[in-house]
Amino acid sequence: MTNFARVERDLLADLLLREGPDAPTLCEGWTTRDLAAHIVVRERRPDSAIGMLVKPLAGHGERVRLARAALPYPELIAQLRHPPAWSPVSNPLVEPFTNTMEFYVHHEDVRRGAGPWEPRVLGAEFEAALWSNVKLVARASLRRLGVTAEIEATGLTAVRNGAGPRVRVTGDAGELAMFFFGRQRATRVTVDGDPAVAERLRTARLGI
């Protein structure tokens, strides 16, 4: 089985070097340097997430990220490309489950951040791997919004949550991944059905 997380990590590192540290991304307010620092901190400084649980420490994670972003850019990208063996999210046994979506989305954040782009041809195996993650994230997002939808990835099984007002969301698995991780404006996804519900879904803060 292909480790798509590893593939996407290397593709992202290559792209970050080509684009340089100051290129825009789809992550609002973040340059390529900021995005690279976020990934490195996620893998090397688990303490940076404590602010999500302890409000008085809410600024800790950002301080850690900014400190990492101050590294020379080639060193920062080298740390992204070669994560520490002890990091739980980059352990080879669990990386396909923890990082496939993470690195696909951030790779596309850089690809699509600077201007014209076209969807990549991902292949059936990678599309299926993304779709298994998209289904979980989409259902959670829709439940949180109180929106009922049918979601269909090209060539894969459609899923539906609940009953009531309904829209139909269709696209390739990679595009649906970007859509349900909050990048709706930069996707090739179609949303049909109740116009008000569709607009709510297009503008909602989706993702984990």
Q: What is the DSSP string of 59-113?
A: THHHHHHHHHHTS-HHHHHHHHHS--TT-TTT-TTTHHHHHHHHHHHHHHHHHTT
In this structure, are 77 and 13 located in the same domain? yes
Tell me the per-residue pLDDT of 25-76, one tens digit each, with 9 for 90 and over: 999 999 999 999 999 998 888 777 676 666 666 787 788 888 889 999 999 9
pLDDT at 165 over 70: no
Q: Does some domain include residue 181? A: yes
In this structure, are 140 and 102 located in the same domain? no
Domain boundary among 52, 83, 111: 111
Q: Does some domain include residue 118? A: no
Residue 191 or residue 58, greater confidence = 191
The amino acid at 207: G
pLDDT at 14 over 80: yes
In this structure, are 19 and 78 located in the same domain? yes
Q: How many domains does the chain have?
A: 2
Residue 38's pLDDT is what? 93
Domain boundary among 78, 111, 144: 111
Residues 30, 199, 136, 205, CA torsion sign = positive
Residue 182's pLDDT is what? 94
Residue 182: in which H helix or E strand, if any?
none
Tell me the per-residue pLDDT of 101-147, one tens digit each, with 9 for 90 and over: 999 999 999 999 988 999 999 999 999 999 999 998 998 889 888 88
Q: Which two tokens stand for residue 10?
A: 């290397």
Q: Does some domain include residue 41? A: yes
Q: Which residue range forms the structural domain that includes residue 147?
A: 124-203
In this structure, are 64 and 128 located in the same domain? no
Burial class of 106 by CB neighbour count within 10 A (0 to 12, 13 to 18, 19+): buried
Q: Does some domain include residue 116? A: no
Q: Does some domain include residue 208? A: no
- For residues 172 and 153, the answer to whether their CB atoms sit within 8 Å is yes
Mean pLDDT calculated for residue range 69-89: 90
Q: Does some domain include residue 137? A: yes
- For residues 191 and 206, the answer to whether their CB atoms sit within 8 Å is no
In this structure, are 69 and 146 located in the same domain? no
C-alpha distance from residue 114 to each of 25, 106, 110 (Å):
7, 13, 7
In this structure, are 93 and 131 located in the same domain? no
